[in-house]
């Protein structure tokens, strides 16, 4: 691979729980990944990103880490990790792992020590413990809400049985936020980075990279009603009245300590005056300036290692020039382009976001990235055709409205992918999209595991529908996901026809489309190319030239006439030189 491989890489996200299960316990594992790397090499990706596989009680599917330097027994051992890494490298595939620095699990030894220690102790100082407001400290320290719904504070019951301080968790109550103003926390994460770099990983995808530093004084904040994402500029949640219901559970037991979240109305318990909620304003927990010095520190650390190890930011902020701050020359290498992911299948909107992306990232010398699916969003084979509003994280289920049929949804998704893979920069793919998997809508309620589902009493379905274990062989038990047993989420019958072995070598299959697009993308060096818009096409068409490839995507209802040139790739059947709706073609210029 060329130097600065990350500028052009196609990076495939593996969600270890749902990729391949070698030991038959119903959950994917590292040995399963190793056994299937040949298929990924064949697909033609450059790198994989692994979601967390660390020791964890799995309250948020591993994004609640109890030991950052070990493998959870469900996923295997450190030796399995080393074997997987060696096999990937032998196949020319780089490996990026997930780093979760905003919060730990409540089962992390530091948090357990914090619970056992008194207010004001060194142990509590690694997290964000605060006294409550109101008489008796009964009210949470401020009005912040959890991204997963409900309050962002939980009160502890001290070892002597009295109600005590509160701790902050921007996500589930089992995910206490670290205090990143604490040097001990910083030093610990340097150790963790080195632990994995020494083992040979090629980099880190940094979870909640916009959230680690909070505004001083933790001021109250009411997010605007619109928004809804893993915490964009719009705030943590959508359409919820902050302060209306702070607290629901009393006496949940976590790690031997009883927690109480006391019902209260948080309105007016500000420690500081409430800050502005004007559009584009940052919440006091997202995108604070202080995060950037952390990444400068990490970048210097990574640069000590040979072989271009990278940092990729999960930073849900907008607009794009703000995201670009994460990838200034002395900070991270890449940031996910969620603006692109959230753009509807509409030519004008796509042209705009592509222009904005290339401009914003180029301004700081970084490549743009592109992404359509991941483990937090509705799969794009469904999402791009949903006709009702569906904020990120709410998910889809049997009660949802405006759901598409499978075939038209897939058709559009294939066209969207073919457009994405023609763009200069680095693209992220999410396991199963190369099979055309849709969101799984009909999961039984009692199978759902996303904390969002529990924290909103089922009002939001959450993210389980994009996390269902993927199919490999149509006729095998669990569609080849594992040897037998029940996968951790039930697989729909449709998985049979979408299994990889049914698609391999079939020219019209989605798998072949991805494979062909990745091969041509590499052959024509599209990742390193530059984009020029082509005039003279109907407004519903996205028409561009990247090097010696012309790309036309038709987002409208009417067919679009293709220009001259040999068709190298088409996301669906063409009618002569006519490009039907929801189809993308690549032509030799
Ligand atoms: C973003 C991750 O992608 C998501 O899955 C997780 O729930 C949150 N961060 C909290 O770690």
The confidence score (pLDDT) of residue 225 equals 74
Say whether pLDDT at 79 is over 90.
Answer: yes
The confidence score (pLDDT) of residue 272 equals 35
- Would you say residue 401 lies in a domain? yes
Whether 109 is a known active-site residue: answer: no
Q: Which domain holds residue 536?
A: 531-588
Q: Show which of 145, 168, 191 is a domain's final residue.
A: 168
Cβ 172 under 6 angstroms from ligand 1: no
> Mean per-residue pLDDT for 191-212?
98
Please, which residues bridge with residue 97 across strands?
50, 204
User: Is residue 220 within 8 Å of residue 274, measured between CB atoms?
Assistant: yes
What's the gap in Å between 390 CA and the centre of ligand 1?
A: 18
Say whether pLDDT at 274 is over 90.
Answer: no
Q: Are 273 and 361 contained in the same domain?
A: yes
Say whether pLDDT at 211 is over 90.
Answer: yes
- Residue 374, CB half-sphere, CA atoms under 13 Å: how many? 24
What's the gap in Å between 65 CA and the centre of ligand 1?
A: 11
pLDDT tens column, 92-104: 999 999 999 999 9
Cβ 29 under 6 angstroms from ligand 1: no
Q: Give backbone dihedrals phi and psi of 396, rounded to 5 degrees, phi first.
A: -125, 150
- Write out the two tokens for 577: 């030189």
The confidence score (pLDDT) of residue 231 equals 61
Cβ 64 under 6 angstroms from ligand 1: no
Q: Show which of 168, 195, 213 is a domain's final residue.
A: 168
Cβ 326 under 6 angstroms from ligand 1: no
Domain count for the chain, please give it: 3
Q: Are 83 and 125 contained in the same domain?
A: no
User: Is residue 474 within 8 Å of residue 497, measured between CB atoms?
Assistant: yes
pLDDT tens column, 388-409: 999 999 999 999 999 999 999 9
Cβ 433 under 6 angstroms from ligand 1: no
Point out the ligand 1 atom lying closest to the alpha carbon of residue 463: 5
By C-alpha distance, which of 369, 350, 349, 371 is closest to 360?
A: 369
pLDDT tens column, 126-164: 999 999 999 999 999 999 999 999 999 999 999 899 999
Q: Are 130 and 79 contained in the same domain?
A: no
What's the gap in Å between 522 CA and the centre of ligand 1?
A: 31
Q: Are 364 and 432 contained in the same domain?
A: yes
* CATH number, residue 148: 3.90.400.10
pLDDT tens column, 226-264: 555 676 543 333 222 222 222 222 223 222 232 332 222
Q: Best substitution site from 56, 170, 171, 450 to test ligand 1's pocket, by max atoms within 8 Å of Cβ?
A: 171
Looking at per-residue pLDDT, the higher value among 280 and 33 belongs to 33
Say whether pLDDT at 334 is over 80.
Answer: yes
- Would you say residue 286 lies in a domain? yes
Cβ 207 under 6 angstroms from ligand 1: yes
Q: Are 424 and 555 contained in the same domain?
A: no
The confidence score (pLDDT) of residue 2 equals 46
The confidence score (pLDDT) of residue 224 equals 83
* CATH number, residue 539: 2.60.40.1180
Cβ 338 under 6 angstroms from ligand 1: no
pLDDT tens column, 474-504: 999 999 999 988 999 999 999 999 999 999 9
Catalytic residue among 139, 207, 433, 464: 207
* CATH number, residue 77: 3.20.20.80
Q: Show which of 126, 144, 168 is a domain's final residue.
A: 168
Q: Which stretches does DSSP call E strand in 77-145?
A: 94-99, 129-130
Q: Best substitution site from 63, 335, 430 to test ligand 1's pocket, by max atoms within 8 Å of Cβ?
A: 63
What's the gap in Å between 316 CA and the centre of ligand 1?
A: 11
- Would you say residue 510 lies in a domain? no
- Would you say residue 494 lies in a domain? yes
Q: Are 113 and 221 contained in the same domain?
A: no
Q: HEC profile for 100-134?
A: CCCECCCCCHHHHHHHHCCCCCCCHHHECEECCEC
Closest CA to ligand 1's atom 6:
63
What's the gap in Å between 313 CA and the centre of ligand 1?
A: 12
Q: What is the mean pLDDT of the chain?
A: 91
- Residue 436, CB half-sphere, CA atoms under 13 Å: how many? 28
Cβ 376 under 6 angstroms from ligand 1: yes
- Would you say residue 177 lies in a domain? no
Q: Best substitution site from 207, 237, 371, 394 to test ligand 1's pocket, by max atoms within 8 Å of Cβ?
A: 207
Q: Are 338 and 404 contained in the same domain?
A: yes
The confidence score (pLDDT) of residue 268 equals 25
> Mean per-residue pLDDT for 21-29?
98
DSSP 90: H
Q: Are 341 and 383 contained in the same domain?
A: yes
Say whether pLDDT at 573 is over 60.
Answer: yes
Of all residues in the chain, the percent with pLDDT exceeding 90 is 89
Q: Are 449 and 570 contained in the same domain?
A: no
Q: Give backbone dihedrals phi and psi of 28, rounded to 5 degrees, phi first.
A: -60, 165
> Mean per-residue pLDDT for 532-544?
98
Binned at pLDDT 50, 70 and 90, residue 56 comes out as: very high
Of all residues in the chain, the percent with pLDDT exceeding 70 is 90
Whether 226 is a known active-site residue: answer: no
What's the gap in Å between 512 CA and the centre of ligand 1?
A: 31
Measured distance CA(80)–CA(30) in Å, rounded: 6
- Would you say residue 210 lies in a domain? yes
Q: Are 328 and 451 contained in the same domain?
A: yes
User: Is residue 146 within 8 Å of residue 246, measured between CB atoms?
Assistant: no
Measured distance CA(192)–CA(55) in Å, rounded: 14
The confidence score (pLDDT) of residue 159 equals 87
DSSP 470: P
Closest CA to ligand 1's atom 2:
207
To which H or E segment does residue 295 belong? helix 291-303
The confidence score (pLDDT) of residue 226 equals 55
What's the gap in Å between 208 CA and the centre of ligand 1?
A: 7
Q: Are 417 and 460 contained in the same domain?
A: yes
Q: Are 142 and 281 contained in the same domain?
A: no
Query: Can you list the pairs that 90-94 forms with residues at least 24 positions away whose Cβ atoms lie under 8 Å?
Result: 91/37, 91/38, 91/40, 91/41, 92/1, 92/41, 93/37, 93/40, 93/41, 93/45, 93/46, 93/47, 93/48, 94/1, 94/5, 94/9, 94/46, 94/47, 94/48, 94/202, 94/203
Please, which residues bridge with residue 49 across strands?
13, 96
Catalytic residue among 304, 388, 493, 564: 304
Closest CA to ligand 1's atom 10:
63
The confidence score (pLDDT) of residue 309 equals 98
- Would you say residue 316 lies in a domain? yes
Cβ 153 under 6 angstroms from ligand 1: no
Q: Which residue has the tokens 């082509």?
A: 534
- Would you say residue 145 lies in a domain? yes
The confidence score (pLDDT) of residue 161 equals 93
> Mean per-residue pLDDT for 293-322?
97
């Amino acid at each position: 691979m060329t130097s600065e491989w990350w500028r052009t890489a196609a990076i495939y996200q593996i969600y270890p729980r749902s990729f391949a299960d070698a030991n038959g316990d119903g959950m994917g594992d590292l040995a399963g990944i190793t056994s299937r790397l040949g298929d990924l090499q064949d697909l033609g990706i450059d790198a994989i990103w692994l979601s967390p596989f660390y020791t964890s009680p799995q309250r948020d599917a591993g994004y609640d880490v109890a030991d950052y330097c070990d493998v959870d027994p469900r996923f295997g051992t450190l030796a399995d990790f080393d074997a997987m890494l060696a096999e990937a490298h032998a196949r020319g595939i780089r490996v990026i792992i997930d780093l979760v620095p905003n919060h730990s699990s409540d089962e992390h030894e530091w948090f357990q020590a914090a619970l056992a220690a008194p207010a004001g102790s060194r142990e509590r100082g690694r997290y964000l413990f605060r006294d409550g407001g109101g008489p008796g400290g009964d009210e949470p320290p401020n009005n912040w809400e959890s991204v997963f719904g409900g309050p962002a504070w939980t009160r502890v019951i001290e070892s002597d049985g009295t109600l005590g301080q509160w701790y902050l968790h921007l996500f589930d109550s089992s995910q206490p936020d670290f205090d990143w103003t604490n040097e001990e926390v910083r030093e610990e994460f340097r150790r963790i980075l080195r632990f994995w770099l020494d083992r040979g990983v090629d980099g880190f995808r940094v979870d909640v990279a916009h959230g680690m530093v909070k505004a001083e004084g933790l001021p109250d904040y009411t997010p605007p009603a619109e928004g809804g994402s893993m915490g964009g500029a719009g705030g943590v949640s959508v359409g919820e009245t902050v302060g209306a219901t702070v607290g629901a559970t009393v006496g949940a037991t976590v790690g031997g300590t009883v927690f109480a979240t006391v019902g209260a109305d948080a309105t007016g318990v500000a420690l500081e005056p409430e800050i502005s909620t004007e559009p584009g304003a940052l919440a006091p927990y997202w995108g604070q300036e202080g995060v950037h010095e952390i990444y400068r520190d990490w970048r210097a650390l990574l640069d000590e290692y040979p072989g271009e190890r990278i940092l990729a930011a999960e930073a849900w902020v907008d607009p794009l020039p703000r995201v670009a701050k994460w990838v200034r020359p002395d900070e991270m290498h890449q940031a996910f382009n969620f603006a692109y992911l959230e753009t509807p299948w509409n030519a004008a909107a796509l042209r705009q976001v592509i222009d904005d992306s290339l401009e914003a990232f180029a301004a700081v010398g970084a490549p743009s990235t592109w992404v359509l699916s991941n483990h937090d969003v509705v799969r794009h084979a469904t999402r791009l055709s949903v006709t009702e509003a569906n904020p990120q994280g709410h998910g889809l289920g049997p009660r949802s409205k405006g759901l598409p049929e499978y075939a038209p949804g897939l058709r559009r998704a294939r066209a969207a992918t073919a457009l994405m893979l023609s763009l200069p920069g680095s693209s992220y793919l999410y396991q199963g999209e190369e099979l055309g998997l849709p969101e799984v809508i009909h999961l039984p309620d009692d199978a759902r595991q996303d904390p969002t589902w529990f924290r909103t009493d089922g009002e939001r379905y959450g993210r389980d529908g994009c996390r269902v274990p993927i199919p490999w062989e149509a006729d095998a038990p669990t569609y080849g996901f594992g040897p037998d047993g029940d996968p951790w989420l039930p697989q729909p019958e449709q998985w049979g026809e979408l299994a990889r072995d049914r698609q391999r070598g079939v020219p019209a299959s989605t798998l072949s489309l991805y494979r062909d697009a990745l091969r041509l993308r590499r052959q024509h060096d599209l990742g390193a190319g530059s984009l020029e818009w082509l005039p003279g096409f109907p407004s519903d068409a996205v028409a561009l030239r990247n090097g010696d490839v012309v790309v036309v995507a038709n987002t409208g209802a009417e067919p679009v006439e293709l220009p001259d040139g040999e068709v190298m790739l088409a996301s669906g059947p063409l009618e002569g030189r006519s490009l039907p709706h929801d189809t993308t073609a690549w032509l030799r210029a």
